[in-house]
Amino acid sequence: MDSNHVEENKAIANDHGDAPQADDKAAIIARNKAALQKRKDDIAAKKAAEDAKALPAGWKRVESRSEPGSFVYENIHTEERQAWFPDVEAPEEVSAAPVSAADADRAALIQKNKDALAARKAAAQGQKATEAKLELPSGWIRTESRSRPGEVVYENTVTGERQAWFPDQPAEEDDAKSALAKKNKAALDKRKKALQQKKSEDNSKKLPAGWKRVESRSRPGEFVYENELTEERQAWFPDAPAEKPLPEGWKKVESRSYPGEFVYENKHTLERQAWVPTEPAPKTENQAAPASAPAVAKAPPAVVVATAIAQYDYTASDPDTEMDMMEGDEIDVEYKAPNGWWVGKNKRTMKSGIFPGTYVQCN
């Protein structure tokens, strides 16, 4: 996004009221449904208004071939179609341009390739018909292809392997593959047993102060460990008492330079420090421009101040200014308004706009 658009979105974010909160999943789902319904209603109202308008000469409204139930606009002269309402008369079909020698040669080549392809398909069909009547070698069966429904392949009943060509030998077990499969299965069983044993040991141990064992949100039936003071969760057994909540404006994040270690990030300035903060995070004010600055300053380039991961789905109420998100989307954050609305770009959709900062978590 260029700097001018970023500045426009900053102004929109600042004037957008308070961002919706993300403390109630049922409320989030209800809000998204309402926003989606509003968008559908707006589209339906726009279509109804278009349906009531008289079409320019040469156009007609017809049902879409790719989206049954939807309508598009067809030029009655050329039979070309478009999804948007036409605002001018339909152009009439012009006479075809004269065919050059090069075009004639190309047309002949295309026809030659079509004929060759048709001959290959006929030969393949004939071969399949012949093979369908042949008796299979022992240990083989005909079965439907998983990747090409309706096509027949040949399955080795001993090894479970499949192939597209007709087998010419009885099915045999591949000793090397069988041994490798058994080895992998034994290793997997051993690993599962070790994990189960560790879980059993963890479940029998007393938790350090401030921790409790709770069911995982993402893996029902499995358990994780929750800090009762901060409500943060982790999959591994805690080896120390639960840490107290950080002062306002701070959060604990993984170090960029030392993966596996943690540091503390100021939510306002995004500055980081290795020691545990004891005071609320300071808010840095924007510095005044120098006296020599020009009267009309050029808009600063778009700068990514942080990256964030969407924790919840978000359906934009106003797609012209807001940005849709799905849980797990990675967002480049370019601005954070005090009211909770942020400006950024969704890396999945490559769309830019404002979105509620309460729905994401910074890396």
Least Cα distance to 322 among 340, 300, 342 occurs for: 342
Query: What confidence score (pLDDT) does residue 143 get?
Result: 93
Query: What confidence score (pLDDT) does residue 226 get?
Result: 93
Query: What confidence score (pLDDT) does residue 100 get?
Result: 63
Determine phi and psi for 288, rounding to 5 degrees.
-70, 150
pTM of the model: 0.35
**Rounded Cα distance, 87 and 44, in Å:** 20
Contact 159, 173 (CB under 8 A): yes
Query: What confidence score (pLDDT) does residue 300 get?
Result: 56
DSSP type of residue 357: G
**Rounded Cα distance, 238 and 225, in Å:** 7
Query: What confidence score (pLDDT) does residue 299 get?
Result: 52
Determine phi and psi for 104, rounding to 5 degrees.
-65, -40
DSSP type of residue 207: P
Contact 277, 247 (CB under 8 A): yes
For the chain, domains (ranges, CATH) are 1-22+249-279+300-363 (2.30.30.40), 134-170 (2.20.70.10), 204-245 (2.20.70.10)
**Rounded Cα distance, 363 and 258, in Å:** 14
Query: What confidence score (pLDDT) does residue 288 get?
Result: 42
pLDDT in tens, the chain (363 residues): 556 677 888 888 888 888 888 888 888 888 888 988 888 888 888 888 887 888 999 999 888 888 777 788 999 888 888 888 898 998 876 445 555 666 778 888 888 988 988 998 899 889 889 999 999 999 999 999 988 888 899 999 888 889 999 998 998 776 777 777 788 888 989 988 998 888 888 888 899 999 999 998 888 888 899 998 888 889 889 988 988 888 988 888 888 877 778 888 898 888 888 888 888 988 864 444 444 444 445 555 568 899 999 999 999 888 889 999 999 999 999 999 999 999 999 999 889 999 999 999 987
Query: What confidence score (pLDDT) does residue 360 get?
Result: 93
SS3 breakdown of the chain: % helix, strand, coil, rounded to 5? 30, 20, 50
Tracing tokens 């009762």 back to the chain, one arrives at 228
Backbone dihedral region for residue 158 (phi beyond 0: left; psi -120 to 50: alpha; all else: beta): alpha
Helix, coil or strand: residue 116: helix
Query: What confidence score (pLDDT) does residue 208 get?
Result: 92
Backbone dihedral region for residue 249 (phi beyond 0: left; psi -120 to 50: alpha; all else: beta): left
